[in-house]
Structure 1
């Protein structure tokens, strides 16, 4: 019997879900499992994930992700005794996963959807419809979500995703925390010597790293950090800013830079997207990391003093230095403090306090052994999918509408 992981993800751009799938595929390959990546015929793979393509054993099976059905002769060769787990991060692909479950000859096939975000029409598809019919669609989709939950097909990245789903659809299921997916990154230890060395070097250079996709206003805090940095540079000549990221808002970032004084602009570098290993190295050397969600967590696990930025604002707002007790954790959506005072505090605080708070940021991300067996322990309640024909038709129509709107207005897209 072979254990087989199938990942349905058309491309690997840069983002939290892509990084998770990258680590998931890599880790399972390293543990001797068979890994099949269902992707576009010519998948876009960011440079930061290039090394995945070079790994022995990765099977790339192309399919046309815009289609609502897999081709009849999808090139996947499996044995009846194989134990298969299918994962995806878009509900439309969960329909494809359910279709694949019915088609494969294996006795054990389980399919899972990982809810990737907590706002937007991709998670709450009734939002794309005219307001008048939203209640009808919301009632229907609530029923579909309940069917997926009851069949064990729904998984979550974070408690906030659970809260968003249950609150939006008035769902009162118990013990959903068991459906939060585990860490799939290797463990680290806090390096107090490195933290102390960074603390003592702050008067010579203080490097701030800001990381995120350039998607505004969702991740508009980057623009606010640029404004704050320009103001701080007048007083603290030793500060430098590294921005890791790219995306449709790059022009906004470049316009900000063009308006800055030469001495400020020369202290800012744009690195674009980085490979996971280089990303870790830049974060390890940084004095302060500003980000949100998954990127913030990576910096904290590197032992770097971290500030969680608020989503959906072009100001830099934060709840304070990241720690296990941080209100809202790594995903801040409520109005909070102006980030400037924390930037100043990070520069001026005593060395001992800097090391202590860096350690607290590190401890905010529980250091767990990566669990690559989780998806093979989980089970669907039935051998078939939960969505019926009506569900499949309605959901595909809504996803098509979301896709068309994204083409016109630059909004969300399932590509």
Structure 2
């Protein structure tokens, strides 16, 4: 089987590290690993993939002749394409329709806002757009071409379309490389003896606005634990990065001096920072990565400028974000971790690792993902649907939307 990840190789984010893990596992287990992308500006990512014997094809999806030639050269009969974004899935379906191709095309939904097309439009137009996309969604789902990451993405999708996903729609947790650290005792000991609260996330507000809340709350943490330090790693939107730095500058000098900010960094270097921290605060795959470094990890709520958290990841590993009705500050859990004695800290460190391994182990979850088989390999789209979808996308470009039909501030209201 030839497995294609159809995404992008731009700035680092959760889907990029996911792609790296998947491709590493594929090659290790005898599959041919391929990446399709429109942009390949991330040289570190390219190097990592190519060093792992993963082929990269960078092309404009509007150039369907070239795309078809690439797919034909790979051997469409044994091809399985995995997309994280609906736009990417639809591009492949359009390609199949127009070039009369047949291959497995799957949407792996790893973001709760994946299907919220037309969300920036006024009420009546938004309802029309949603109704049109609902028809395509139903056909994709009935074709067994949809895989959900977790219960949260399923719930948000059901709420958006006003109907439940098929009971046959599978869950596949985010695949994680859950290898035990040879030096785990040293890492745990270093964490216990240390004083670092860490966060690592893209600057993407308000979706990951908890970073602002964590900076503001650090004054309370510092007051309770005078030797505490805050290490923040971020990158992404220029204006949002400026907001983070401005928030740090607002802190009193003695507290500000205990805050260490880094732009986004090499992935291996990032993991080393995780090994140094005492407790990790974040969301998504970042909290999973930290837990795999034997760190007590605290998932926070998205779409808020407060750092809100209801539990440690080890207590509810199925959810990489806090409950939507959460009102508690992450500060309470952070200080709880600081209060543990060494025996308790070691126990919780192991719990963090085991919770993630049991739920997200890549061997189990990637086998489930690769086992997903659409009923038909032909396109689910009609010519009328293609015209509508791509006319809407063209309008979105004219409007200079931040992303194609995807405005996170509007999605916040919908959720």
Q: Which range, TM-score by smaller chain?
A: 0.7 to 0.9
CA distance change for structure 1 residues 90 and 399 in 2, over 3 Å: closer, same or farther?
A: farther
TM-fit CA distance, 1:341: 2.2
Residue of structure 2 in register with 1:258 after alignment: 249
CA distance change for structure 1 residues 389 and 152 in 2, over 3 Å: closer, same or farther?
A: same
Contact 1:196–1:351, Cα closer than 8 Å, also in 2 = no
TM-fit CA distance, 1:275: 3.3
TM-fit CA distance, 1:364: 3.3
Residue of structure 2 in register with 1:382 after alignment: 376
Deviations 1:349-388 (A, max 9, x none): 3333323333333343243252544444221111211121
Deviations 1:97-122 (A, max 9, x none): 1244457898x720011223113xx5
CA distance change for structure 1 residues 348 and 256 in 2, over 3 Å: closer, same or farther?
A: same
CA distance change for structure 1 residues 15 and 103 in 2, over 3 Å: closer, same or farther?
A: same
Does residue 61 (structure 1) correspond to residue 57 (structure 2)? The answer is: yes
Unaligned runs of 5+ in 1: none
Matches within 5 A, 1:86-101: 86-101=81-96
Residue of structure 2 in register with 1:144 after alignment: 136
Normalized per residue, the structure richer in helix is 2
Does residue 161 (structure 1) correspond to residue 153 (structure 2)? The answer is: yes
Unaligned runs of 5+ in 2: 409-415
TM-fit CA distance, 1:319: 0.7
Contact 2:24–2:52, Cα closer than 8 Å, also in 1 = no
How many residue pairs end up in the alignment? 403
Contact 2:80–2:105, Cα closer than 8 Å, also in 1 = yes
Does residue 78 (structure 1) correspond to residue 105 (structure 2)? The answer is: no
Residue of structure 2 in register with 1:233 after alignment: 222
Residue of structure 1 in register with 2:3 after alignment: 5
Does residue 311 (structure 1) correspond to residue 302 (structure 2)? The answer is: yes
Residue of structure 1 in register with 2:363 after alignment: 370
Does residue 219 (structure 1) correspond to residue 208 (structure 2)? The answer is: yes
Matches within 5 A, 1:112-151: 112-119=106-113, 122-151=114-143
Residue of structure 2 in register with 1:399 after alignment: 393
CA distance change for structure 1 residues 36 and 344 in 2, over 3 Å: closer, same or farther?
A: closer
Matches within 5 A, 1:25-44: 25-40=23-38, 43-44=40-41
Matches within 5 A, 1:355-366: 355-366=346-357
Contact 2:287–2:320, Cα closer than 8 Å, also in 1 = no
CA distance change for structure 1 residues 406 and 135 in 2, over 3 Å: closer, same or farther?
A: same
Contact 1:222–1:314, Cα closer than 8 Å, also in 2 = yes
Measure, in 2, the Cα distance between the counterparts of 1:200 and 1:64. 49
For structure 1, which segment, 381-390 or 268-277, has the greater mean C-alpha deviation from structure 2 after superposition? 268-277
Measure, in 2, the Cα distance between the counterparts of 1:116 and 1:196. 30
Measure, in 2, the Cα distance between the counterparts of 1:284 and 1:29. 27
Measure, in 1, the Cα distance between the counterparts of 2:85 and 2:137. 13
Contact 2:178–2:357, Cα closer than 8 Å, also in 1 = no
Measure, in 1, the Cα distance between the counterparts of 2:320 and 2:36. 33
TM-fit CA distance, 1:246: 0.9
Does residue 288 (structure 1) correspond to residue 279 (structure 2)? The answer is: yes
Select 1:338's aligned residue among 323, 329, 339. Answer: 329
TM-fit CA distance, 1:79: 6.3
Matches within 5 A, 1:151-190: 151-176=143-168, 178-180=170-172, 183-188=175-180
